Chain A
Amino acid sequence: MFNEKRIAMKKKLLLLLPLLIFAVLASFFVVGLDRNPREIPSPLVGKPLPEFSLPTLDAPEQIVTKERFAGQVWLLNVWASWCVSCRSEHPLLLEYAKTNETPIIGLNYKDKMPDAKAWLQRYGNPYEMSIVDADGRFGIDLGVYGVPETFLIGKNGIISYKHIGPITEESLRNIIIPKIKELKQQ
């Protein structure tokens, strides 16, 4: 009698098994929905900005190196005139540049100089200056694989944060600006 009851219960549990499997799978999928496979953690965060010596968009005869920005907190924004999603973050950059909190330096990535200049004229220029990486070599040193990308660099020249893809209002307010404030206090 007791044994029969146990067998009946086992059968009931077996019936619940598909539901259980479904629940486990579904929870994996739900977590997966919020994750972006394009966002690859950069090994450069926490390391010094790689060396570069590149011309600027406004003065191609002048060479700029990273020493030029030593001792300040700054943003390095990788952009190009051919980059469509750069346009979506551009108004935010313009707005943030007005606050004068932190210089934004552009890295004009694999672009043609006249195109880049025309683009800035058309959409506005939030950059203190734009460094020109015409052949994309500095981009490789930075581990750039999709434009736009934005790096936050501290006073000590160490990259403290990397944002992949266009900056959104949320990421600017909730992540980047708090991090800038934190870095400035150091």
Chain B
Amino acid sequence: MKRLFLLFVACGLSFWLPMATANEALPTENDPVAQKRAVELAAKLRCLVCQNQSIAESNAELAVDLRRQVREQITAGKTDQEIITFMTDRYGDFVLYQPPMKGTTVLLWLGPLILLLLGLLGMYFFLRKQAGKGEEMPAPLTDAERARVAFLLKQRDDSKT
């Protein structure tokens, strides 16, 4: 009985869901260029309710409203930059997935580069130290050692012939 009920609910939902989304997508659905722009813009904007999703991905109410805003403004002939300014005027730079370069974001943009440079610098000094170790000249041979080398070399030459 319960299963039958769930089946009915599922059927009901499957009818209702496409209709709900169709309703939402109305303003730009007949214009593929505008639709593409709307989707691209929505992917660049962060949903503030569920902070790790773009408004294109999120189904939060605010994301639905903001997608509608984006489409309406596209239909009204606004440029992408105008729409992005509209969003940042209201929600701040946080709404952008790619924050602009400015005083407060310099560390964010340059931080990885600085870390990379520090790493390269560290590697350079480490490798130089290692190389220096290898090049250290051994102490010169003593007379006794020289005599032994000469003896051993001679022994080898003799065994060859």
Q: Measuring CB to CB, which residues of chain A are less than 8 angstroms from any residue of chain B?
A: 37-38, 40-44, 110, 135-137, 139-143, 145-146
Q: In the complex, are the beta carbons of B90 and A43 less than 8 A apart?
A: yes
Q: Measuring CB to CB, which residues of chain B are less than 8 angstroms from any residue of chain A?
A: 48-49, 51, 61-62, 65-66, 69, 88-92, 94
Q: In the complex, are the beta carbons of A40 and B92 less than 8 A apart?
A: yes
Q: In the complex, are the beta carbons of A143 and B92 less than 8 A apart?
A: yes
Q: In the complex, are the beta carbons of B49 and A145 less than 8 A apart?
A: yes
Beyond the given pairs A140-B69, A143-B92, A145-B62, 7 more chain A to chain B contacts, judged by CB atoms under 8 angstroms and listed by A's residue number, are: A37-B51, A40-B48, A42-B92, A44-B90, A136-B61, A143-B90, A146-B49
Q: In the complex, are the beta carbons of A43 and B61 less than 8 A apart?
A: no
Contacts of A40 in B (CB 8 A): 48, 91-92, 94
Q: Known contacts A37-B51, A40-B48; is A142 also within 8 Å of B65 by CB? A: no
Could you tell me the distance between the alpha carbons of A182 and B94 in the complex, rounded to whole angstroms? 30
Contacts of B62 in A (CB 8 A): 136, 145
Q: In the complex, are the beta carbons of B48 and A43 less than 8 A apart?
A: no
> Which residue on chain B has the smallest CB distance to residue A144?
B62
| Pairs of residues from A and B, 3 with the lowest C-beta to C-beta distance, nearest first | A145-B48, A143-B90, A43-B92
Contacts of A139 in B (CB 8 A): 65
18 A-B contacts, Cβ less than 8 Å apart? A37-B51, A38-B51, A40-B48, A40-B92, A42-B91, A43-B88, A43-B90, A43-B92, A44-B90, A135-B65, A136-B61, A136-B65, A139-B65, A140-B90, A142-B90, A143-B91, A146-B48, A146-B49
Contacts of B69 in A (CB 8 A): 140
Could you tell me the distance between the alpha carbons of A120 and B62 in the complex, rounded to whole angstroms? 24
> Which residue on chain B has the smallest CB distance to residue A146?
B49
Contacts of B91 in A (CB 8 A): 40, 42-43, 143, 145
Could you tell me the distance between the alpha carbons of A110 and B65 in the complex, rounded to whole angstroms? 11
> Which residue on chain B has the smallest CB distance to residue A142?
B90
User: How distant is B105 from chain A, measured CB to nearest CB, in Å?
Assistant: 13
> Which residue on chain B has the smallest CB distance to residue A145?
B48
Contacts of A135 in B (CB 8 A): 65
Contacts of B66 in A (CB 8 A): 140
User: How distant is A17 from chain B, measured CB to nearest CB, in Å?
Assistant: 13
User: How distant is A64 from chain B, measured CB to nearest CB, in Å?
Assistant: 21
Could you tell me the distance between the alpha carbons of A139 and B62 in the complex, rounded to whole angstroms? 10
Could you tell me the distance between the alpha carbons of A135 and B64 in the complex, rounded to whole angstroms? 11
> Which residue on chain B has the smallest CB distance to residue A40?
B94
